[in-house]
Amino acid sequence: MYYVFFTGTAGSGKTTAVKEFRDYLLDQEMDVAVVNMDPAVETLPYTPDFDVRDYVDAREVMERFGLGPNSSLIVSIDLLLTKATDIKREVGEIESNYVLVDTPGQVELFAYRDTGRTFSSLLVGDSKSVNVFLMDSFIAREARSYVSLLLLSSSIRFKLGIPQVNVLSKVDLISDKELEKLLAWGEGEDLLDSLGVVDDYSFELVRTLIESLEVPPIPLSSTNREGFDKLYAEIQRILAGGEDFV
Ligand code: GDP
Ligand code: MG
């Protein structure tokens, strides 16, 4: 069994990508299940095989504790830890080869609180896993935002401690010219130039970041499945050393 987590900033397209990637794998007759780990999502475009809202629902938490939306989300995510054993048991009953895991809208709540790491290691156990990190290409068009998203990606890679694939999500929303620029940045080209004048600290930081880029972010669109073959190949390369694992 292989776990594929989808993380990224709020609205970066995780839920949509999970749905489309599941359908894409199903079209190839692969055995795939979907886990929703977002306690605050209202409607899902897919029917999850496991839904964390059966254990903790951010709406209920909001009403029960009289909290606003932000604090109820934090409390919900922390509450998940108290139900970890039950959740682990139920998710463990899934027998599909691939388990796609949709994570909470706000990546910092999932990745930077204990929940993220605990859940990713608990759910996964001895199975292999990979984290797909979505960088919203509409936001990444701006050089400073691109660098900030790369830094966020590194930070999450470090925090979760599992192999990661970066993708540029929603590329159908940007022009060919903008995409070309993003692809060049992904290869480490032109990024410093595009940033214009930066202080010494930023210069060194970006230089180090470019050097540490292993694989350039993969352009992806859940609208037209652009990049899905590439994403699949990259996930497969990481998980199974290039072997097919249908
Ligand atoms: P999440 O918060 O990361 O789970 O993001 P969602 O999957 O809920 O997507 C946020 C918004 O972006 C929704 O309105 C989606 O329809 C839209 N969206 C997601 N992926 C794409 C994409 O590939 N192309 C376009 N054009 N819109 C997308
Ligand atoms: Mg979502």
Q: Which two tokens stand for residue 53?
A: 């809202």
Calculate helix-pair angle for 228-240, 14-27, nearest 10 degrees: 80
Distance between Cα 149 and ligand 1 center (Å): 17
Decide if 171 contacts 226 (C-beta within 8 A): yes
**Which of helix, strand or coil describes residue 246?**
coil
Cα separation, 192 vs 167, in Å, equals: 21
Q: Cβ of 168: how many Cβ atoms within 10 Å?
A: 29
Distance between Cα 221 and ligand 1 center (Å): 9
The predicted pLDDT at position 119 comes to 78
State which ligand 1 atom lies nearest to the alpha carbon of 18: 7
107, exposed or middle or buried, with CB in 10 Å at 0-12, 13-18, 19+?
buried
The predicted pLDDT at position 125 comes to 81
Cα separation, 25 vs 233, in Å, equals: 12
Mean pLDDT of the chain, nearest integer: 92
Distance between Cα 48 and ligand 2 center (Å): 13
Nearest alpha carbon, ligand 1 atom 18: 13
Decide if 52 contacts 39 (C-beta within 8 A): yes
Q: Which chain residues have CB less than 5 Å from ligand 2, an ion?
A: 14-15
Confidence bin at 141 (pLDDT 50/70/90): very high
What pLDDT, in 10s, does the model give residues 186-237? 998 999 999 999 999 999 999 999 888 888 999 999 999 999 999 999 999 9
Nearest alpha carbon, ligand 1 atom 12: 13
Q: Name the phi and psi angles at 38, rounded to 5.
A: -95, 110
| ipTM confidence | 0.99
| Number of helices followed by number of strands (H, E) in the chain | 12, 7
Closest ligand to residue 134's CA: 1
Q: Which two tokens stand for residue 49?
A: 């095989």
pLDDT at residue 243 tops 70:
no
The predicted pLDDT at position 246 comes to 43
Cα separation, 53 vs 217, in Å, equals: 31
How big is the chain, counted in residues?
246
pTM listed for this prediction:
0.94
Residues near ligand 1 (Cβ within 6 A): 8, 10-16, 105, 169-170, 172-173, 221-223
Distance between Cα 13 and ligand 1 center (Å): 4
The predicted pLDDT at position 55 comes to 94
pLDDT at residue 143 tops 50:
yes
